[in-house]
Amino acid sequence: MNEPSGPARTLFGTHGRSFQRNLYVYPVLSRRSGGISIGVNLNRDKSCNFRCVYCQVDRSESCGKEPIDLGRLRDELAGMIDLVVSGRLFEEGKFRDAPQPLRHLKDIALSGDGEPTACTNFDEVVALCAEIRRQRELREVKLVLITNASLLHQPNVRRGLEILDSSDGEIWAKLDAGTEAYFKQVARSEIPFQRILDNLAEAARARPIVIQSMMMRIHGEPPSPAEQAAYCDRLAEIVAAGGRIKLVQIYTVARSPTEEWVAALSAVEVDAIAESVRRRTGLPVSAFYG
């Protein structure tokens, strides 16, 4: 896959979660979606149970913990859909440079400045987004959950996933490691790596999922051959347990990370890892550089 250049590279590399006066909803030109993704930020307080070394979120300031205002979220999401579908978004600032083939709405993504499934009324948010999608007859627009998979076992999250499934939704789940040691180094979380793997396997048994994996240099070193092999083994284990993996997305650092000793891989390195995963697992793999 070719790297973007010029205005397109700037657009793809800019995924800010603020837009006008919105609290929750923001537009992104997304390479992985192949067009416009409407993001729904469920973590304005910036709390997260991971502290990923590559995260670009500044957690030094917090908006304070508060419940999601479902009425405001409804209004913001409806307004953003109108803005994209009408084409008015592409009269706004950076979106004027959006390539013509990508000027269409691809998905509504539940994401955030933290782990979206940590939202206390997560199931209600999913239900609201699904209802707006149905009302607007956005049959070709996916409802996507972008998650680190740490909380997929919780009851309110499972309820939300059932709603997601009934709306032809999709889970894009993070898996950045093959071993416990590397997981701890990258995610810097107290959550056991096995919980992530168990949740991924359970989710994939219930519906096909997409795996998203960040590959990077840490202190100048890319993932070792042994770590890459272990990562492929974890994917294979999910499949062997009856899980369905629709796609593996291999990508690298595109924005300034939390730690200065984290850096992007080259396009050649990303492609090589993607080809190795494809060959070792037999799964469909896409490579992205931002």
Residue 4 confidence class, pLDDT cut points 50, 70, 90: very low
Residue 3 confidence (pLDDT) above 60: no
88-98, pLDDT tens digit by residue? 999 988 899 99
Share above pLDDT 70 across residues of the chain, in percent, rounded to a whole number? 91
Tell me if 171 sits within 8 A of 142, measured CB to CB. Answer: no
From CA 212, how far away is CA 144, in angstroms rounded? 13
**Whether 1 contacts 287, CB under 8 Å:** yes
pLDDT at 34: 87
Q: What residue type is assigned to position 116 of the chain?
A: P
Domain spans of the chain, in order of start: 6-287
Mean pLDDT in residue range 190-197: 98
Assign a CATH topology to domain 6-287: TIM Barrel (3.20.20)
Of the candidates 120, 121, 239, 267, which has an alpha carbon nearest to the alpha carbon of residue 175? 239
Cα four-point dihedral sign 210, 39, 167, 151: positive
- 100-136 pLDDT, tens digit per residue, is 989 999 999 999 899 999 999 999 999 999 999 999 9
How much of the chain, in percent, has pLDDT values that exceed 90?
81
Q: How confident is the model over 255-277, as a mean pLDDT?
A: 95
- Identity of residue 25: V
| pLDDT higher than 60, residue 37 | yes
Find out whether 203 and 209 touch, Cβ atoms under 8 Å. Answer: yes
Give burial (CB, 10 Å; 0-12/13-18/19+) of 64.
exposed
- 3-class secondary-structure state, position 57: coil
pLDDT of residue 1: 45
- Alpha-carbon distance values, 28 to 15, 43, 91, 95, 277 (Å): 6, 17, 14, 9, 28
Give residue 60's pLDDT band: very low, low, confident or very high (50, 70, 90): low
Residues counted in the chain: 290
Count of beta carbons in the 10 Å neighbourhood of residue 137: 8
Does residue 12 have a pLDDT over 70?
A: no
Dist. CA 38–CA 78, nearest whole Å: 11
Q: How far apart are CA 223 and CA 54, in angstroms?
A: 14
